């Protein structure tokens, strides 16, 4: 869907990488702009090389030192022929390097510029350092996580990072659609804290109404994780018809009217504990009961439902010469640029 669209990804770590991964899967030509040498800091983190490879498969890498005049000039040249520029610096950093939206828009009025930030570019926290856990804490989401040892449990995935990357991809698509009508790009901004806050729309609405809201963190017997004889099973029979079918299938039809009774969970747990996970899944078969096994990550990777499409990620600067030649730089200029890297 995005064939012919070129994206310059200046971001680092997970949020921007996830955003440009989504765009690359839509066939955009994503050029990862990294610092010469070590490249994206993600490469050097524990398991970072594997994570980087997954996020950046199929993209091309250009190594540019943006703090140098030649590096900035090369980026401006790339921006002239690009459709999207994605960055994840703190507010003001790109402007101080002479690469802010005003400068880039001057060389390419059609450019869609998207900044992913922690707290946004306005307000008292605009320049505050942070990571996913901080954004979840500020948004109020972390406080709603089920407690572990009296502390809010930390999600196993970086919710704000991934939500921010997804929101950025959505806004970029909208801006490209707008550009098709107007002929001009625009500046976009995504605050990961604001996106995490938006995920609490239902909870905030219930709070404003003075209600407790629908709790889906394990209190309801129809929506929780149960232990089987050798593993765990997820039950999400939220609608009455699914819950009734589930109760019938496990031999507890009397629980059909106790869908919201926390005490019913103990009775369900006692039954599900009597068989293995595989036995239960064979028993439920294709019935509409909203039950699935809790798979390990390795099992999920091997699951038939998982469509694995893997391509190699680029080495740092692997495509520098190729991309800069496409942008119109001469071989001599590229060689001089590489000497300053």
For 120, left (φ over 0), alpha (ψ -120 to 50), or beta? Answer: left
**Which of 29, 132, 161, 194 does the annotation list as catalytic?**
161
Are 30 and 83 spatial neighbours (Cβ–Cβ below 8 Å)? no
Q: Which 8-state DSSP code applies to residue 38? A: T
Q: Which 8-state DSSP code applies to residue 43? A: G
* Long-range pairs, 74-77, Cβ under 8 A, ≥24: 74/324, 74/327, 74/329, 74/337, 75/8, 75/33, 75/99, 76/103, 76/104, 76/107, 77/324, 77/327, 77/328, 77/329
Q: Is 131 known to be catalytic?
A: yes
User: Which of these, 181, 13, 153, 141, lies nearest to 89 by C-alpha position?
Assistant: 13
Handedness of CA 9, 15, 21, 22 (dihedral sign): negative
Q: Is 283 known to be catalytic?
A: no
Q: Cα(284)–Cα(278) distance, rounded to whole angstroms? A: 10
Catalytic residues: 131, 161
């Amino acid at each position: 869907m995005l064939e012919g669209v070129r994206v310059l990804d200046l971001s680092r770590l997970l949020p921007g990488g996830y955003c440009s991964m989504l765009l690359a899967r839509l066939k955009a030509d994503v050029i990862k702009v990294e610092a010469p040498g070590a490249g994206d800091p993600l490469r050097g983190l524990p398991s970072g090389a594997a994570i980087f490879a997954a996020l950046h498969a199929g993209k091309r890498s250009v190594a540019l030192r943006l703090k140098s005049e030649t590096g900035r000039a090369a980026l401006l040249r790339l921006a002239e022929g690009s459709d999207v520029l994605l960055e994840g610096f703190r507010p003001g950093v790109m402007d101080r390097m002479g690469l802010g939206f005003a400068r880039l828009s001057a060389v390419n009025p059609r450019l869609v510029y998207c900044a992913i930030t922690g707290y946004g570019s306005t307000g008292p926290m605009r320049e505050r350092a942070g990571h996913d856990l901080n954004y979840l804490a500020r948004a109020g989401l972390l406080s709603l996580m089920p407690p572990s040892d009296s502390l809010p449990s930390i999600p196993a995935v970086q919710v704000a990072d991934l939500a921010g990357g997804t929101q950025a991809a959505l806004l970029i698509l909208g801006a490209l659609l707008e550009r098709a009508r107007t002929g001009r790009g625009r500046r976009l901004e995504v605050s990961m804290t604001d996106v995490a806050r938006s995920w609490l729309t239902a909870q905030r609405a219930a709070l404003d109404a003075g209600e407790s809201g629908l709790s889906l963190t394990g209190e309801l017997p129809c929506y929780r994780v149960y232990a089987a004889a050798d593993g765990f099973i997820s039950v999400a029979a939220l609608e009455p018809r699914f819950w009734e079918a589930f109760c019938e299938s496990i031999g507890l039809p009397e629980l059909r009217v106790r869908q919201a009774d926390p005490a019913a969970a103990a009775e369900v747990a006692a039954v599900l504990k009597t068989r293995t996970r595989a036995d239960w899944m064979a028993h439920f078969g294709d019935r509409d009961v909203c039950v699935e096994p809790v798979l390990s990550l390795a099992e999920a990777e091997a699951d038939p439902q998982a469509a694995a499409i893997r391509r190699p990620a680029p080495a740092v600067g692997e495509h520098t010469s190729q991309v800069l030649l496409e942008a119109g730089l001469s071989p001599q200029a590229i060689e001089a640029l590489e000497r300053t890297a």
